[in-house]
Amino acid sequence: METRLLGATLLLRLVDVLQAFAIEEKGDVFRRRACPAFLMFDNAAYLADMTFELPCNCKPEDVSSVVWYFQKNLGSHQTTVLTDFAGTMVVDSGHIRAGSDMLTRFSIRMFSLIVFRAQVTDSGHYLCGTKQGDFFYGYDVDVQPTKHITVAFVDSGQHVQDDFRVKLFSLFTTFWDWTRCDRCGVRGEQRRIGLCYVRSARLHPRYRAAVPNVTSCGSRAVPKRFHRRIRRRRPEVAIRSCLTPCLKEEVPEEGVQAISNVISKLGKKPWLPRVPTQFHKQPMGTALVIACPGARPEHAVAWDKGSVRLYRSRYLVGVNKSMRVFIDHGNHLHIQRVRAGDGGTYFCWREGEMVAGFRLSVFYQHRRRRTLKDPEAIYATKVIGISYAIVTIIFISIHLCRCCWRLLRCPART
């Protein structure tokens, strides 16, 4: 018993020492970096639905907690306070949805602001300071939309957008590194995300970036007279095929998969991936969105239905306007108007490793009897009532006009 108590005591002391070391190391960073005399804004660009972190790179040593502020436009009276004034807010990113309010999508950890699943409306100025309104550090965040994003399939000979140049500025795309191959042991795909940037000598001097006279297209440093041309350029993504071996012999090759299909036809048990599988029942005719556990938009994610590979060259959103099953740019699998044939097991790959399965069963939902208290019935009653009133008013107005016309045409009696 004494040995256990001694071990627990030593473990607690070790945790305290590591925590104190982390805080001291963070304090050393603040001692080495002085805050600028004039508040500047660092430019940072991301794609919608991404999660980003903004560190408060400088603060006075006597400040123990920071407050983050958000302003859409610099100097605006509409300022959002992004803190609980204690810096202890913890957010479970697994419960966050794309449409959630910004105040439910942020967290403060070690003076840094973390925004989960950023939206285009989150673009603006982020300021690190105190609750008294003293600002130490600022960011100019540009969240670029994924809607109407430009896609180039390299295997089909498609090319990315060319640079655009005029007299006062030029537009170009800055690409991130290629992601890892989203599958292993079989043919997979790689993505390369590109964000829109502008180069000009007319940028606002209060905003700074890693390269002089270069900033993201949605930055507030860009003069307003350039906005019309810049809005036409979209971020882009390039996709190409890849093949990489598996580190562990858990996933069979294409030939083994074909042999397993033959065995299954002979009545024997086919090969199934040994991954956690979730079971779900979905009513027929409804819409379903499946997310890969632990995946983010910048990750390499792939989807399979059984042994069928759902490659982005066929199933990426926007490839075919009439497609019912597609993968969006946030790596979610969408099934519109679910049919009986959509039932089966869907497998999710993340960073080249199969991580989860999703067993979908489709059932027919019997329509329940509607009552007058249903929202649909109330809405239909209002529409019918308003339509009847409009028709009645038109009918009465026509008859009144006809009566007046007859009275005017009839000669006055003498």
Give the domain 276-389 fold.
Immunoglobulin-like (2.60.40)
Tokens of 290: 């499946």
Q: What is the DSSP string of 91-117?
A: --GGG--TTS-GGGSEEEETTEEEESS
What CATH number does the domain located at 26-144 have?
2.60.40.10
- List pLDDT tens digits, range 376-392: 677 788 889 999 999 99
Is residue 144 within 8 A of residue 219, CB to CB? The reply is no
**Does the structure show a pLDDT above 70 at 258?**
no
At residue 84, the pLDDT reads 56
**Does the structure show a pLDDT above 60 at 94?**
no
CATH 2.60.40.10 domain span(s) along the chain: 26-144, 276-389
At residue 106, the pLDDT reads 84
**Alpha carbon distance 104, 97 (integer Å):** 10
Cα of 152 vs its chain's centroid, Å = 20
pLDDT band, very low/low/confident/very high, at 135 (cuts 50, 70, 90)? confident
**Alpha carbon distance 17, 2 (integer Å):** 23
* Nearest residue to 361 via CA among 276, 275, 264, 282: 282
Of 8-12, 52-56, 272-276, give the range with the top mean pLDDT.
Answer: 52-56
At residue 285, the pLDDT reads 87
pTM for this one? 0.69
